[in-house]
Structure 1
């Protein structure tokens, strides 16, 4: 029977001069409590100290997020910053390689952001499923995949440049007109222009509850 995965996540202020040392000691205490061998604990404490110091110096967020993981005989520590990141890519629905390419691209982006491997793997699978669904069920000639990381939470959003939603009465007429104009700019060709395309490049107010947006997260 496979061993259960244990994880603990803590956040530290980048402005605190003791953050690197405190995070390293906390990681050591967590790993020690999980009865990880001493030599592994010592190595990961050093690694945590170095990663947090690098994050404090080079990242944009006001906090660093430290996740300690133990699964079976394997232990690891991941450090990311709290700054919001997103990357959006467009893919043709007619290319047979689109589904796999989009999934691999999402994995590469998340890996570059130092998201834990198990989360990356889950989101790669989720991206593959969501893109396949978008290609099969919608009529748009492109799908838009946005990968986000915000406060340590990773997610993948997939939408089509066209959809079958009834857009009227969802929002006020003035906003609808603005969204239609943006949709035309982004290449939504379904008449009347589909406002879904407007959401291809989400801002801080990403509307996660819109029915025509499909979101994946572990």
Structure 2
């Protein structure tokens, strides 16, 4: 199995992402610099980590979404390669047009950093099937611009198509319909504000994130 983590200037969760992937696959991922024009061939999974790429100038993820490597990431995602974007990675994927909606400033204009109780809305997705019938999980959150927004027609469509994968049980940021994570229509791209890569070790507060990585990576072995 061949996985990769894209690194942007300002990324601060790339090492967490790498540790999570190695913990599940037994092999360290490739760390790909955002300025590279292409991703390595034969990738089975790509992760866009959290952080504050380019200092969140313009809009969070807006500058990073125009990085050279993103053109190839979009091509690979459209060809079916699984992609996970977490926090700033979610923002980048929406700015790149791979996911619906947008991430705005949190309601109350405050940075939120706390454990977030979540409900798994779609257990049939490539990213959640390993949870079985389990509905409730807790992942850490740490963001200022995590307020998910889309027009009502888009919200109705993604709800009806099963693209809402995770929902907040206690909305921390004002996200419409309590949405915490959404997928694309094909189901191979997931964006989420909570951090599953920070929930893989009991010594760090919990292991609820493991099944998310096992869901997508286990199916690729």
User: Fold conserved (TM > 0.5)?
Assistant: no
The structure with the largest helix share of the pair is 1
Greater CA radius of gyration, 1 or 2? 1
Q: TM-score, normalised by structure 1?
A: 0.29
